[in-house]
Copies of this chain bind each other. A is one copy, B any other.
Amino acid sequence: MNTNIIYGHVERLSELLRLDSRTAGLEYGLQPVQLEVLRYLSVSNRFSDTPMAVTEYLGQTKGTVSQTLKVLEKKELLVKKNDEKDRRSTHLVLTEQGQKLLEEIIPSEVFLNACKDLTGSERKDITAALARLILSLLKANNMKTFGVCKTCRYNTRTNTGDYYCNLVKTALSDYEVELICREHQAPEGEV
């Protein structure tokens, strides 16, 4: 029964966000999914900024995602850059305009007002609760966690203190370890 209540709440919250997102994107002619893609790309690292990564993130089909990206490209909110090593693959980079638009629209005025209504400890609780639920859902869906490198089991530090990814065998900058990676794996033992 408890589960039913949680489901109901998540459904309600989901609908409210969709409404908010739809309204926020409206004046720029952007759909909820398009905003979501922009937000994802703004925080994804260089191994995770491809159409296929977006596809996995959204859980949609690649054809659908391809369409969405085409629209965003046409609106000049992102550009496609060929991968130098793998010529099948393209990287999606937000344009300055795209980055700016995203910062303007999200979070929306309404969402910010809603958060103002919360105390600091409420925000902390809510953040933790959401993260916990998302993790369980991802696990149940056999979906990847899309966490940032800093929290990944593959991330290590060299004796000079630099970050190094053991999966792709590459050094990562202080900036990069804060970005989302499609290969992210929680440390063993955690969930």
Residues of A within 8 A of B (CB): 2-21, 36, 39, 43, 58-60, 106-107, 110-115, 117-118, 122-123, 125-134, 136-141, 143, 191
Contact = CB atoms under 8 A, between A and B. Distances in A.
B16 A126 contact: no
Given A15-B59, A20-B137, 6 more contacts: A2-B123, A13-B13, A19-B60, A113-B140, A114-B140, A125-B129
B141 A16 contact: yes
Contact of A15 (B4, B5, B43, B58): B58
A6 B133 contact: no
A8 B36 CA distance: 9
A68 to B, nearest CB: 13
A64 to B, nearest CB: 12
B14 A18 contact: yes
12 contacts: A2-B127, A11-B36, A14-B17, A16-B137, A19-B58, A19-B141, A114-B140, A117-B191, A125-B125, A125-B128, A126-B132, A129-B130
Contacts of A39: 8, 11
